[in-house]
Structure 1
Amino acid sequence: MTAVLSRPAAPPLRRDRRRWAWGLAAPAAVGWALASALDGGVLNPAGGTQFGRFAGAALSPALDGAFLGVLGTAALVTVAYAVLGTALALVLGAAGAVLLARTTWGGRRLGWAAARGALAVPRGLHEAVWGLLLVNLLGLDPWVGVLAIGLPCGAVTAKVFADLLDEVPRGPYDALLAQGSGRVAAALYGLVPQATGGLLSYAVYRLECAVRSAVVLGLVGAGGLGYQLSLSFSSLRWPEVWTAVYALALLCLGADVAGRAVRRRVAAPRRRAGTLSRDRVLTAAARAALAAVARAWWFLALSPASLVSARAREQAGYVLGAAWPPAGGGDLLREVARQAVVTLQTSVLAIAVATAGAVLVAGPAARLAGRSAPGRVAGALVRAALLLLRAVPPPVWALVLLFVLLPGVLPGALALGVYTLGVLGRLTAEVVEEADARPRSALTALGARPAGAWLYGVAPQAAGPVLAFALYRWEVAVRDTLLVGLLGAGGLGALLASRLAVFDWPAVTTVLLATIALTLAVDLVSERARRALR
């Protein structure tokens, strides 16, 4: 009698309730935010003429020598702030990463959680908020721009660096511990060398972000291209506005191209005769970075003495004394809660707009092999448009949209959505570029149409990373919502600006604590969502 061998039955596919819960919660949240944004009037017909003038000036920017000279000097100021802010952020990030990595804390989870919680305070506030606070302490000193970029970006860099250290193999680290080394020394010699590529790559990316942060600080009075853009906008000189916008785009393009080149070389180290060799381009880039830091320090005429001057100490003592304890009146707390809801609605709607737009442009924007000449031209145009969207700060988009939209959630959300689309569109295009091309090629060879090959061959691979990027950008959008609110688009930012205007420091502290708490809550929700969608 012959025995019949059968394969064990495959386990049945089960519905992941967590994914379904998040899948239903996301459209419900977007619907809630959209309903609030469309409540009441939306359009402002009176501003259509001015919006037309603004749009028409895009083809006739101001190119006179005097204005271009002013923009050139302003660009140097912006670059100097970005370079020094990045240098400070990297120093703080490198120092904090070893102390924040889960690996170096071992089983002491309480200490690790406390360190991460302390880190959330500086990174929970936007660079513009730091700038406004530091102006009250230091006055119009160039240290304001450097510290406003370096402190929050340093906290973010420390978190990212710590995560990179936690991802590398622990073998060398454990071996050094076994030989009696301390945890910090073991991390420096056992973890950092393995993570060098990722650390350098993120350091270059941080410079690209610092350029945009320096522009934003210019909008609140720190000088540079952002300040010139603000002056031209307030005087309705649209040709000058577009010249400043194009200058910003070129500056961001330069940082983007340089960053891509360095990251490619870091990802693919040069080899000679089968062994690693020094990359002369990377060496030259490192020397140029050090020279740029020295040049920026000289250009801005920074003086460490101004940080500890008698005026700075006196003003810091006054502000800290006046700001604590925070205000706790019922009317203020109710207003804080109401504006926190507005901030949350604005960020949700903004990330929904940006994600939908990024999915639509990801295909054309991706650099894929085998494309026709018209496809390559269309891709270059889409990438240029995305660059322009992320080069213009969100407050400028908000001011433009307020020509044709009434104040409220909608103009702030659309301004943030347009800006975030520029960032998320680029990230989504890179995800598509790195996706395995074989499924799409196989479907095309079997006769599938391009849309079908894309839907079944690329979309399943890209869905996870794109959702992760969207959730990460939601965290950033909450902080950017505060920036848009500072210029009158509503939310906690508008409330903060009104309290700063009258030097109501206890109320300022309350609003700042509410902002940090909201940022932490969004970080927690975003982390849970990413974990469920993996």
Structure 2
Amino acid sequence: MFAYPTVRASFIFLAVALLGLLVADIAITTANPWQDLGRFFLGVATPNFFSTEGLLTALLRTVAFAFVGVTLGSIYGFLLALVYRFLPVRIFCAFIRAIHELFWALIFLQFFGFHPLTGVLAIAIPYSGIFAKVYSEILEEADQEPGRLLPPGTSSIAAFLYARIPDCWVQMRTYTAYRLECGLRSSAILGFVGLPTLGFYLESSFSQGLYSDAGAMLILFYVLIATMPLWVRPKLLPIYIFAAPFFLGDGLPIVWGNVERFFTEDIIPSPIRDGEGLAAIWAWLSDVMITEALPGIWNTVVLTQIALVATGILSLLAFPLISNHFGGPVRRTSGHVFLVIARSTPEYILAYILLQLWGPSMLPAVVALALHNGGIIGHLIGRQTNTIHLRPDAPVGFSRYSWELVPRIYRSFLAFLFYRWEIIMRETAILGILGIYTLGFYVDSAIQNIQFDRAMVLILITALLNIGVDALGRFIRRKLALQTMPTC
């Protein structure tokens, strides 16, 4: 049943979100939003798969960037996981995973240009930090008994390979497969900064009002995600990994002088670069904080808290769609399709679509974040309810939902929700690139104005904010005695 601390925490977050709504900009500013939404759905219902010559190439490059980036991320993440117990390693991993893939792409674009290395590193670097954290937790939770049964004198390397890895292999493989799905989403949205993946053609179609073309691209992406169990087979993985680099495409040659200048001049704060004193440095930093950082932090936090609560509400409403305790097979199949679409659509793409239809405000971002994350959590807790056995005389309908199931899964639900908190904030910050006044807006503006020093300060603030929220989420999960690393 519900425990008082969990209920109190829930109401606190609900109250914060309601207060955020009072100051948030959630207006619909387009003249005919519902007509535009209808045109979009008509485009999805009448997709044009033959309009864009480069569509198949974009699809292949989306897959290629995902495979190369995730492969490198998993390799370096595993190596970092072996030394994750050291504080400097944990801090380093927390920092690189706190910076969104699009922020990494914007950084690398400044000196690598539209080279495949930009997309690969934009995925591989944050994923290395994510893999290191998760792999280390899996290794720490492994059963220690097999290691004690090895013959005396067995080396630590042999004990690790023959006793620890076999016990963790299934979990590591399952998580890596999930991260590959995330990599496909990350690869797709790299097209919004100009790399030749699916997002590039999707943005072009929307900007021209070609909704049937955009619908075709979305359908292909959903099919790509939904059919992963069919084409991502263990025996085929070596072939995919070997072939993927050949489908990344070609870019302009890297000018290493630009790389050197970026790190030695461009990102150095201008007062330091110009040899000015401490007063000038303080004035420059104060200007960045007052005019950009503080407004960006405020809007990022407000939007995050609204989206977090909206995600929770949607999750609780969505899980009955796939629960065996409600409806029949037709309804559950429809529910599965809805949740697959919701969780497979990257927040960035969904927010971009809604911004085109509803105009620039926080509302498209809130809906996008809630649909994507609510789809993920709703799917997980819906599956969890399928393991619950009710007594024969259990109530039906709303009573079954409110009195039998929700109290039993509520703690798991909160664990998932607080675990997604930091992820929601990462996405909230990056959605600023679309014109919402979060930290990403000011980062993108600074880069557009060739003020890389200001952009790097803002990216650093974004990373620290994400690290702080992640730490706060872990503290709350421990305080409420929830699972630190929720699984289902």
Question: Shorter-chain TM-score: what band?
Answer: 0.7 to 0.9
1:235 to 203, 208, 227: 208
Q: Distance in 1 between matches of 2:202 and 2:455?
A: 28
Q: Distance in 2 between matches of 1:391 and 1:252?
A: 7
User: Aligned-pair distance for 1:430?
Assistant: 2.3
Structure 2 vs 1, CA of residues 316 and 168 (structure 1 numbering), >3 Å: closer, same or farther?
A: same
User: Aligned-pair distance for 1:149?
Assistant: 1.0
Aligned position for 1:468? 415
Q: Distance in 2 between matches of 1:360 and 1:137?
A: 46
Q: Deviations over 1:338-361 (max 9, x none)?
A: 211111111111122122112111
Q: Distance in 2 between matches of 1:429 and 1:448?
A: 18
Q: Does 1:408 pair with 2:361?
A: yes
Structure with greater Cα Rg? 1
Aligned position for 1:338? 295
2:28 to 28, 35, 43: 43
Q: Does 1:203 pair with 2:181?
A: no
Structure 2 vs 1, CA of residues 513 and 54 (structure 1 numbering), >3 Å: closer, same or farther?
A: same
User: Aligned-pair distance for 1:164?
Assistant: 0.3
Q: Does 1:459 pair with 2:406?
A: yes
Which shifted more, 402-411 or 466-475? 402-411
Q: Deviations over 1:76-120 (max 9, x none)?
A: 1111111111111111121111111x4xxxxxxxxx222211111
Superposition map of 1:158-307 within 5 A = 158-173=132-147, 179=153, 181=155, 187-255=160-228, 285-300=233-248
Q: Is the 8 A contact 2:30 2:359 kept in 1?
A: no
Amino acid in structure 2 at the alignment position of 1:124: A
Structure 2 vs 1, CA of residues 174 and 330 (structure 1 numbering), >3 Å: closer, same or farther?
A: farther
Structure 2 vs 1, CA of residues 447 and 251 (structure 1 numbering), >3 Å: closer, same or farther?
A: closer
Structure 2 vs 1, CA of residues 331 and 251 (structure 1 numbering), >3 Å: closer, same or farther?
A: same
Q: Deviations over 1:299-350 (max 9, x none)?
A: 22689x97xx6x23x2222111221348752121122022111111111111
Superposition map of 1:71-220 within 5 A = 71-100=55-84, 102=85, 112-173=86-147, 179=153, 181=155, 187-220=160-193
Aligned position for 1:10? none
Q: Is the 8 A contact 2:95 2:464 kept in 1?
A: no
User: Aligned-pair distance for 1:292?
Assistant: 0.5
User: Aligned-pair distance for 1:528?
Assistant: 1.1
Structure 2 vs 1, CA of residues 92 and 61 (structure 1 numbering), >3 Å: closer, same or farther?
A: same
Q: Distance in 2 between matches of 1:472 and 1:256?
A: 26
Amino acid in structure 1 at the alignment position of 2:102: A
Aligned position for 2:485? none
Aligned position for 2:336? 383
User: Aligned-pair distance for 1:458?
Assistant: 2.4
Aligned position for 1:508? 455
Q: Does 1:398 pair with 2:351?
A: yes
Aligned position for 1:519? 466
Q: Distance in 2 between matches of 1:340 and 1:221?
A: 27
Q: Distance in 2 between matches of 1:449 and 1:172?
A: 47
Q: Distance in 2 between matches of 1:447 and 1:24?
A: 28
Number of equivalences:
466
Q: Is the 8 A contact 1:349 1:413 kept in 2?
A: yes
1:436 to 374, 382, 388: 388
Structure 2 vs 1, CA of residues 51 and 459 (structure 1 numbering), >3 Å: closer, same or farther?
A: closer
Structure 2 vs 1, CA of residues 453 and 421 (structure 1 numbering), >3 Å: closer, same or farther?
A: closer
Aligned position for 1:358? 315
Secondary structure of the residue that 1:222 maps to in structure 2? coil
Secondary structure of the residue that 2:435 maps to in structure 1? helix
User: Aligned-pair distance for 1:288?
Assistant: 0.5
Q: Is the 8 A contact 1:97 1:159 kept in 2?
A: yes
Q: Is the 8 A contact 1:19 1:532 kept in 2?
A: no
Amino acid in structure 2 at the alignment position of 1:59: A
Secondary structure of the residue that 1:489 maps to in structure 2? coil
Secondary structure of the residue that 2:236 maps to in structure 1? helix
Q: Deviations over 1:218-238 (max 9, x none)?
A: 122111211111110111111
Aligned position for 1:329? 285
Structure 2 vs 1, CA of residues 257 and 347 (structure 1 numbering), >3 Å: closer, same or farther?
A: farther
Calculate percent identity across the aligned residue pairs: 25
**What residue ranges of structure 2 are gaps of 5+ in the alignment?**
271-280, 483-488
Secondary structure of the residue that 2:194 maps to in structure 1? helix
Q: Distance in 1 between matches of 2:423 and 2:261?
A: 31
Q: Is the 8 A contact 1:98 1:187 kept in 2?
A: no
Amino acid in structure 1 at the alignment position of 2:183: A
Give the aligned CA root-mean-square deviation in angstroms: 2.8
Q: Distance in 2 between matches of 1:300 and 1:396?
A: 21
Q: Does 1:423 pair with 2:376?
A: yes
